[in-house]
Amino acid sequence: MQRRAFLAGGAAAPVSRRAGGRLSREDLPTPALLLDLDAFERNIARMSRFARDHHRALRPHGKTHKCPEIAKVLIRAGAVGCCAAKLSEAEVFAREGVTGLLVTTEVIGKPKIERAVRLASRNRDIIFCVDNLQNARELNEAAGAGRVRLNVAVDLHVGGRTGVLPGEPALALAEWIDSSPNLKLAGIQAYAGHASHVVGFEERAKTSRQAMAQAVETRRLFEKKGLPCPLLTGASTGTYSIDAEIDGITELQPGSFIFMDLDYRRIGGREGSEYRDFEPALSVLTTVVSQPTPRMAIVDGGFKAFSTDKPFMPEAKGIRNMPYVWAGDEHGRLDLTNASAPVKVGDRIEFIVPHCDPSVNLYDRIYCLRGESVEAEWPIAARGMSQ
């Protein structure tokens, strides 16, 4: 892979420059969200190659990054499009020219359905998910009024969240969709989210295979009844290599692989070790702003700088044995007792985040670094778009 292949094409927003040259890491205001471009590109290359070698389409999930520029990088690397968790997220991606959108959460209620129809009138390849007949009827009626035909996938309940039950209930819904004048049956979504973070590869594989077996059987039932089902999409960063080996699954929709985080690192790899399929590419840069005692330092990143939904703390890069704990909205406390390197006021310290998706949603932009140099600054344009 060429060093800068994924950034080619003029997609990157121009970086603000000081007199005399490009910004460096040391110039950035903290806390700042950083992307290691070399690791990011290696992660994308690995997943793209895997999907290609296993004859699976790749539609990475945009809820991880919420950044149209990243979605475009992934498409240039071979992805067929981008998943969006919510309609508002899809609207941002579409406005910025991202194609091949799949909205993975049901669009419920008249105002959102009308927005979905408007979006589909400008983006004919977009797919919406449906898991109940009432919603399908409302989509069909609105699509007729808007003179557009909506692509819809039947969302299967295989992961403890949304979805119609597999088997006959899903078939009944699919048959109604297939017979409706303004809807086109695109296939099946089956996202087994509960399997993604099961600790231990074998246990995770067992959990995912049990869930996805229901989806494969439902797809066979559709086809037996003469219903088109070219799409069976699912899989996560934790299960991509498991689900790709299941006959009948056509598409993978992982998201976190581009960044990685502490949560995914702990789930365990195929040989029982830490999960190392992909590299940490995302970090939060902080500054040491105080050192009240020789054994304690304070950084300027707290609850507002990192996701707080996990029971483990951010982990410093490059310095071992330096535990971080929350110290409020704006601060974090470091225990320097056994730190592997000295720390002083003014030092810049990067941290790997506990959970990448909600951490990204805290920032307006992501600084893309090649070594110490800021190569691009990408807006997180869909930040807060959770409607």
Q: What is the pLDDT of residues 57-103, one digit of tens each?
A: 999 999 999 999 999 999 999 999 999 999 999 999 999 999 999 99
- What is the structure's pLDDT at 285? 98
**pLDDT mean over 178-199:** 96
Q: For strand 82-84 and strand 315-316, is the pairing parallel, antiparallel, or unpaired? A: unpaired
Say yes or no: domain 38-265 is CATH 2.160.10.10.
Answer: no
> Same CATH topology for 21-35+277-379 and 38-265?
no
How much is the pTM? 0.92
358/223 Cα distance (integer angstroms):
38
- Residue with more model confidence, 98 or 10: 98
Given this model, what pLDDT does residue 270 score? 87
As given in the structure block, the two tokens for residue 205 are 């594989």
pLDDT at 21 over 70: no
* Mean pLDDT of all residues in 40-66: 98
Q: Is residue 10 predicted with pLDDT exceeding 60?
A: no
Q: Is the model's pLDDT at 9 over the cut of 60?
A: no
Answer whether residue 372 shows pLDDT above 50: yes
- Structure tokens, 213: 């077996």
Q: Where are the domains of the chain?
A: 21-35+277-379, 38-265
In whole angstroms, give the CA distance from residue 317 to residue 296.
18
In the chain, % of residues over pLDDT 90: 92
Q: Which residue has the higher pLDDT, 4 or 139?
A: 139
The stretch 104-126 carries a mean pLDDT of: 97
| Averaged confidence pLDDT in the chain | 94
Can you tell me whether residue 51 is helix, strand or coil? helix
Average pLDDT over residues 17-40: 87
Phi-psi region of 272 (alpha: psi -120 to 50; beta: other; left: phi over 0): left
pLDDT exceeds cutoff 80 at 368: yes
pLDDT at 325 > cutoff 80: yes
Average pLDDT over residues 318-339: 97
The Cα 143–Cα 124 span in angstroms is: 12
pLDDT at residue 327, as a whole number: 97
Confidence of residue 338 (pLDDT cuts 50, 70, 90): very high
The pLDDT score that the predictor gives to residue 334 is 98
3-state percent helix, strand, coil for the chain, nearest multiple of 5: 30, 20, 45
Q: Which fold has domain 21-35+277-379?
A: Lyase, Ornithine Decarboxylase; Chain A, domain 1 (2.40.37)
Q: Given this model, what pLDDT does residue 274 score? A: 84
pLDDT average, residue stretch 33-51: 98
The answer to which of 17-31, 191-205, 333-347 has the lowest mean pLDDT is 17-31
Query: What does the pLDDT average to over 177-199?
Result: 97
